[in-house]
Structure 1
Amino acid sequence: MGRARMTWIGTSWKMNKTLAEARAFVDGLVAARSALDGVRAFVIPAHTAIAAVRERLPADVPVLIGAQNAHWEPAGAYTGEVSMGMIADVGATLVEIGHSERRQHFGETDETVALKVAAAVAAGLTPLLCVGEPAGVRAAGGETDWVAGQVSRGLSRLATPDLHKVVVAYEPVWAIGDLGREAQPYEIAPVMEMLSARFRPAAVLYGGSVNRRNAAALLGVPGTDGLFVGRAAWDVAEFIELVRIAACACHEGRADAR
Structure 2
Amino acid sequence: KIGAQNISDKESGAYTGETSAKMVKSVGAEYVILGHSERRQYFAESDALLAEKTKVALANGLTPIFCIGETLDERNNGSYYEVLKKQLVEGIFSLTEEDFKKLVIAYEPVWAIGTGLTASPEQAQDIHAFIRSEIQANYGFNVADDTTILYGGSCNPSNAASLFSQNDIDGGLIGGASLKSRDFTDIIKALNS
Do the structures match in fold with TM over 0.5?
yes
Q: 1:158 aligns with which of 70, 87, 95?
A: 95
The answer to whether residue 46 in structure 2 is matched with residue 109 in structure 1 is: yes
Q: List 4+ stretches of structure 1 deviating above 6 A.
A: none
Matched, 1:217 2:153: no
Give the match for residue 180 of structure 2: 235
Cα deviation for residue 68 of structure 1 reads 0.5
- Paired residue for 2:125? 189
Cα deviation for residue 180 of structure 1 reads: 4.2
Identical residues among aligned pairs (%): 40
Deviation track 1:103-131 (CA, whole Å, cap 9, x = no partner) reads 11112111110001111111111000011
Q: Distance in 2 between matches of 1:202 and 1:122?
A: 19
Distance 1:156 1:217 in 2: 30
1:5-154 matches, cutoff 5 A: 64-154=1-91
Q: Which runs of 5+ in 1 are unaligned?
A: 1-63, 249-258
Q: Secondary structure at the match of 1:233?
A: helix
- Secondary structure of the structure 2 residue equivalent to 1:165: coil
CA root-mean-square deviation: 1.3
Aligned length: 184
Q: Is residue 143–residue 191 contact of structure 1 (8 Å, CA) maintained in 2?
A: no
- With normalisation by structure 2, the TM-score equals 0.90
What amino acid does structure 1 have at the position aligned with 2:192?
A
Mind listing any 5+ residue stretches in structure 2 that lack a counterpart?
136-143
Separation in structure 1 between the aligned mates of residue 53 and residue 18 of structure 2, nearest angstrom: 13
- The one-letter code sitting in structure 2 at the alignment partner of 1:227 is G
Q: What is the letter of the counterpart of residue 165 of structure 1?
A: K
Q: Report the alpha carbon displacement of residue 157 of structure 1 after superposing the two structures with TM.
A: 4.5
| Shift in Å, 1:237 | 2.4
Deviation at 1:156, TM superposition (A): 4.2
Equivalent residues of 2:164, 2:190 under 8 A apart: no
Residues 116-173 of structure 1 deviation map (CA, whole Å, 9 limit, x = unaligned): 1111111111000011001111112222221121012111442222111110100011
TM-score (ref. length: structure 1): 0.68
